[in-house]
Amino acid sequence: MIFSQRQKDRFMSYFFFIVATASIAVLFMIMLFLFMEGIPIFQKISPKDFLFGEYWYPTDEPPDFGIFPLIFSSLAVTFLSALISIPLGVLTAIYLAEIATYRFREIVKPIVELLASLPSVVIGFFGMVVVAPFLQETFDIATGLNLFNAALMLAFMSVPTICSISEDAIYSVPVSLKEASLALGATSLDTIVRVTIPASISGISTAIILGMSRAIGETMVVLMVAGGAAMVPGSLFDPVRPLPASIAAEMAEAPYRGDHYYALFATGIVLFVFTFSFNLIADYISNKYRQVGEATL
Amino acid sequence: MKSYAVESTGNNYIRLRKKLTQSFCFMLFRISALINGLALAVIVYFILANGWKAINWTFLTQPPMDSMTKGGIFPCIIGTLFLCIGAMVVAFPIGVFSGIYINEYAKPGRILRIIRLGISNLAGVPSVVFGLFGLAFFVIYLKMGVSILAGALTLGAMSLPVIIGSTEEALKAVPDTYREASLGLGATKLQTIFRVVVPAAMPGILTGGILGISRAAGETAPIMFTAAVFSSPKLPESVFDEIMALPYHIYVLATAGTEIETTRPLQYGTALVLIAMVLGMNLTAIILRSRLRKKMRQI
Amino acid sequence: MEQEYKITSKNLDFYYGSVKALQSISLNFQLHQATALIGPSGCGKSTFLRCLNRMNDLIPGIRVEGEICMDGENIYKPSVDVVRLRSRIGMVFQKPNPFPKTIFENVAYGLKVNGVKDKNLIAERVEKSLRSGALWDEVKDRLHDSALSLSGGQQQRLCIARALAVEPEVLLMDEPCSALDPIATQKIEELIHELKDKYTIIIVTHNMQQAARVSDVTAFFYMGKLIEAGETDTMFTRPRLKTTEDYITGRFG
């Protein structure tokens, strides 16, 4: 049978559409399998005890499956790293978009991209062998593998995300708005603070949320430098065990379809819910508060 | 004349203060930008300074010896290459076709929005969750076992958003006049896409492919449960064999080996090989893309 | 006689990179008069206008030679504070460009960045400026709505009011009506007439009738040069040069 060009065209457009749904299909499969393998743990322990239980001793007899210390660790590490990465990322973005000369911009942008491309295992390794001994000696603490070190390393992983998305947003603020401000006798700084940033705030917020989402989901860095203690940290220099680290470290030893295995998948669900909601919020913000363009006529 | 003189003396103090504030803030912005460069430089410097001593012909071409304390990382290099190639075989066509659908076919509306949401959320899934998914779906459910195939599929799923994003950007940069000219000559939409639009966007699409490979090469968590092993006596013979890989090798040597201190040079050496691969690919992609953007600007 | 001139430009050359965009422009602007700059697209009239408040400084790779003096002081002297200069010279752009803030905030912006903190004073000046911008009656009940909710003509009058709030001495207008409909244009032209008494106005326009209606003096630019300048009435009835006459009568464009 011979198809006409028209039929072929039509057929291909369906084909492309089906392929394009692959991402959604994968996302759906991820959710499906996380839930399939994670839900059975709740026959042993209530969701409330799982989420808020203070003890994570999955291999004890009887085991304790309370992931509160892990959740707390994840949030602490993410929050602390955000304290470093948000100013660093946003200020760099402002510098690149508004102040830097063309030549400098052409040098710094690739550097930020290369920073983003460093494999997480290499950053983790660096944190282990360089930063940890340094921290241990400088602050005279028991171990350099701790909350602070992990947050610092994570910050450098989320800076590129925050920086490049914010920069796009700042850069696309119409020149006419900046000119109007300067023509009124505002300084460049006034213009940045009062016009450019407010006009691009939705893009900057999106950038920050995505950066934090990256930090909370990052695995190798926290696995290697966070120290691994499953307890609620009392200070900046206490070792912690964030959610991804716990999953990565224990999965190999967890007996297939045992309680520990189910509990780790359930931990994965919690982690997924965190990043998924971060992403939904980011998407909501960037759609709802679409950047203002040229004044509409 | 109005009383400008009076007004301006009153304002002088404010103006001076403003000027100082501005200089201070701009300095802060500049320092932030420099810190990023410094971070990259420091990390690369430490790996390079400590790693280059470990690099020699034996290191690159021999398997590990004496229970991992000596010898080379040849199987890891091969393993990482196999995983990357495998991931691209899966992800590149799917990513490019998805990009084509989104940019050439899809009309703005709910369906497009859902697809985009899916892609951006997929990009945000933590790498360890990909690992869990790979384990549950490919390794166990589809009975692939811990294998190159399972690892490549997991990495492929993970690098999909990168490739879709680059393809979209590359297609968007193709001027509409190309499409109109081709359609105006009586070509069908499909012919236009494959003979005019895609060739024009090819460098950009390939850039996306390179970025995808480099992302796949550096990831550890997704292959931990699906493909990688610490030590394998032989090179893989089929896609169902398990495999050694550079990132996993670094991780295990640095954290779980029996002789962590003795193998430190090997760890640095392996890290150096990995970042040389990844940064090399990224640099190529960046240069390719900036050339491309310049060319597009001229049109 | 010198004192009467608010701004004087002497042998001004302007380069974009290696391209000479303005050649030896010498032109004086009298206090409390409106001067129209006319000429075909790309003739340099907008570039010249943007030299007057050093807006061109923002473009990389430009060079200015010669001098522009305001009240006898060269504004291109290194010691000149550009920010201060711009607060003395207001500017209205081709397309209305209100900030994505409220109407009130738009007008108050220039005061705030110039260090005015007194709330009552700000409110007072905002009202005064909006009245001068002939917009007060239309917006007094919704000062705290977004400026983007206004129509194009209202937005442009808001931009004028915003410029007036800083109490500039000179007002530069870069084709302020080119994006507006005829009715909105008429309102702006009336406004320019009123503002002339208090400010020195320099307006770039494409529209001959507009130049004839609003200006006292007209200057004709062509290919980066100032061809002819003089009283608007004379320019439009008895231009000295053939080129000017051809342009004004629409024989080329």
Torsion of CA A250, A256, A259, A260, to 10 degrees: 0
pLDDT of residue A290: 63
Phi, psi torsion values for C180, nearest 5 degrees:
-115, 160
Interchain proximity C95–A294, CB inside 8 Å: yes
**Domain range summary for chain A, segments of one domain joined by +:** 43-288
CA distance B129 to chain A (A): 6
- Residue B39 vs residues A45, A223, C29: alpha-carbon distances, Å: 44, 21, 55
Q: What are phi and psi of A21, to 5 degrees?
A: -80, -5
Decide: C4 and C30 in contact? Cβ < 8 Å. Answer: yes
| Mean pLDDT within B202-222 | 90
**Domain co-membership, B31 together with B154:** no
The reported pLDDT for the residue numbered B298 is 60
C226 pairs with which residues across the strands?
A: C221
Residues of A in contact with B195 (CB under 8 A): none
Residue B182, CA distances (Å) to B176, B178, B185 in order: 10, 6, 5
Distance CA C93, CA A283 (A): 34
Q: Among A138-147, B168-177, B286-295, where is mean pLDDT lowest?
A: B286-295
Residue B22 touches chain C, beta carbons under 8 Å: no
Q: Which residue of A96, A125, A154 is the best one to mutate when testing the B interface, meaning the one whose CB has the most B CBs within 10 A?
A: A125
Considering only CB atoms, which residues of chain C are within 8 Å of chain A? 53, 55, 58, 60, 83-91, 93, 95-101, 109-110, 112-114, 148, 152, 155, 159, 162-163, 166, 179
Residue C83 in contact with partner chain B when CB distance is under 8 A: yes
- B32 pLDDT band (50/70/90 cuts)? very high
Name the residue range of residue B126's domain: 57-298
| Same domain assignment for residues B189 and B211 | yes
| Amino acid A120: pLDDT | 93
pLDDT at B6: 32
**Residue B106 near chain A (CB below 8 Å):** yes
- B182 has a pLDDT exceeding 50: yes
Whether the upstream peptide bond of residue A62 has omega within 30° of 0, thus cis, is: yes
Please indicate, yes or no, whether residues B30 and B63 belong to a single structural domain of this protein. no
Q: Exposure of C116 by Cβ count < 10 A (0-12 exposed, 13-18 middle, 19+ buried)?
A: middle
CB contact under 8 A, A248 and B30: no
Q: Is the dihedral of CA C241, C247, C248, C249 positive or negative?
A: positive
Mean of the per-residue pLDDT values for chain B? 87
Give the span between the Cα atoms of A51 and A66, in whole angstroms.
6
Q: Is the domain of B27 the same as that of B66?
A: no
Q: What angle do CA B95, B100, B106 make, to 5 degrees?
A: 120
Domains and CATH numbers, chain C: 2-97+170-248 (3.40.50.300)
Distance CA A156, CA A88 (A): 9
Measure CB to CB from residue B129 to each of A23, A91, A272 and give the nearest one: A272
Q: What is the DSSP string of B103-154?
A: IIIPPSSHHHHHHHHHHHHHHHS-HHHHHHHIIIIIIIIT---SSHHHHHHH
- Chain A residues whose CB is inside 8 A of the B36 CB are 88, 92, 108, 111-112, 115, 159-160, 163
Cβ pair B124:A187 closer than 8 A: no
pLDDT at A12 over 90: no
In three-state secondary structure terms, C137 is helix
Q: Which amino acid is at C131?
A: R
What average pLDDT score do residues B205-221 get? 90
What's the confidence (pLDDT) of residue B299?
Answer: 53
pLDDT for B148 beyond 50: yes
pLDDT higher for B164 or B8?
A: B164
User: Are residue B117 and residue B238 in the same domain, yes or no?
Assistant: yes
Q: Compute the average pLDDT of residues A196-215.
A: 92
Helix (H, G, I), strand (E, B) or coil at B165: helix
B72 and B35 fall within a common domain: no
pLDDT tens-digit profile of A223-259?
Answer: 999 988 888 888 889 999 999 999 999 988 888 888 9
- Across C19-146, the runs of DSSP E, i.e. the strands, are 19-30, 34-38, 62-70, 73-74, 89-92
Q: What average pLDDT does the segment C10-23 reach?
A: 91
Report DSSP letters for A87-149, one per residue. Answer: HHHHHHHHIIIIIS-HHHHHHHHHHHHHHHHS-HHHHHHHIIIIIHHHHHHHHT-S-SSSHHH
Residue B226 sits in a domain of what CATH number?
1.10.3720.10
Yes or no, beta carbons of C113 and A186 under 8 Å apart: yes
d(CA A195, CA A177): 7
Q: What is the rounded CA–CA span in Å between residue B281 and residue B214? A: 6
Q: Residue B30 has which token pair?
A: 């500049």
Note the ipTM here.
Answer: 0.90
* Both tokens assigned to A50: 């799982």
Q: How far is A170 from chain B (nearest CA, A)?
A: 14
Count of A–B CB contacts within 8 Å? Answer: 266
Q: Is C117 on the interface with B (CB under 8 A)?
A: no
Within this chain, do residues B73 and B138 fall inside the same structural domain, yes or no? yes
Using CB atoms, pick whichever of C58, C88, C179 lies closest to residue A297: C179
Write down the pLDDT at residue B5.
34
Looking at A124-133, B285-294, C134-143, which range is the least confident one? Answer: B285-294
pLDDT value, residue B257: 64
**Judgement on whether residues B232 and B85 belong to the same structural domain of the protein:** yes
Q: Are B225 and B132 in contact (CB under 8 A)?
A: yes
Nearest-CA neighbor of A32 among B132, B90, B94, B117?
B132
* CB contact set of A88 (below 8 Å; sequence gap of 6+): A155, A159, A162, A163, B32, B35, B36
pLDDT of A33 > 70? The answer is: yes
Dig out the tokens for C55 from the structure.
């807006």
Among C6, C71, C81, the residue to mutate for chain B (most B Cβ within 10 A): C81
Question: Residue C110: closest CA among chain A residues belongs to which residue?
Answer: A184
Query: For residue A211, which of A170, A158, A272 has the smallest C-alpha distance?
Result: A158
pLDDT given at position C184? 87
Our count of domains for chain B comes to 2
Domain match, B133 and B272 both: yes
Q: Which of C96, C100, C113 sits opposite A184 (nearest CB)?
A: C113
Q: Name residues 120-179 of chain B within 8 A of A (Cβ).
A: 120-122, 124-133, 135-137, 140-141, 157, 160-161, 164
pLDDT at B237 over 90: no
CATH number for the domain running over A43-288: 1.10.3720.10
Mean pLDDT of C176-205: 90
Instruction: Give the pLDDT score at A13.
Output: 87
Confidence of residue A263 (pLDDT cuts 50, 70, 90): very high
With pLDDT > 70 as the criterion, what percentage of chain B qualifies? 93
Give chain B's length.
299
Mean pLDDT to the nearest integer, C217-229: 92
Give, in degrees to the nearest 5, the angle at Cα A231 between A229 and A234: 105
Query: What percentage of chain A has pLDDT greater than the value 70?
Result: 96
Contact between chains at C55 and A190 (C-beta distance less than 8 A): no
Burial class (CB within 10 angstroms; exposed 0-12, middle 13-18, buried 19+) of B66 = exposed
Write out the H or E segment, with its range, that includes residue C5: strand C5-16
Q: What is the C-alpha separation between B278 and B216, in angstroms, rounded? A: 9
A127–B contact, CB cutoff 8 A: no
**Whose CA is closest to B134, among B26, B227, B239?**
B227
Calculate the CA A153 to chain-centre distance: 13
Query: Is the domain of B184 the same as that of B226?
Result: yes
Q: Mark whether B204 and B75 lie in a shared domain.
A: yes
- AA identity, residue B68: M
Q: Is the pLDDT of residue C57 over 60?
A: yes
Lowest mean per-residue pLDDT among B125-129, B175-179, B184-188, B210-214: B184-188
Residue with tokens 């004379």, as numbered in its chain: C234
Helices first, then strands: H and E counts in chain A: 15, 2
Does one domain contain both B23 and B72? Answer: no
Tokens at C222, concatenated? 């062509």
Say yes or no to pLDDT of B127 above 90: yes
State the number of CA atoms in the 13 A half-sphere of C14 facing the CB.
30
With a cut of 50, say whether residue B3 has pLDDT above it.
no
Token pair 């430190």 in the structure block, residue: B264
Return the bridge partners of C200, or none. Answer: C170
Say whether residue B5 is in contact with chain C using an 8 A CB cutoff: no
Say yes or no for a CB contact (<8 Å) between A182 and C148. no
* Higher pLDDT among residues A102 and A133, named by residue: A133
Measured distance CA(C135)–CA(C126) in Å, rounded: 11
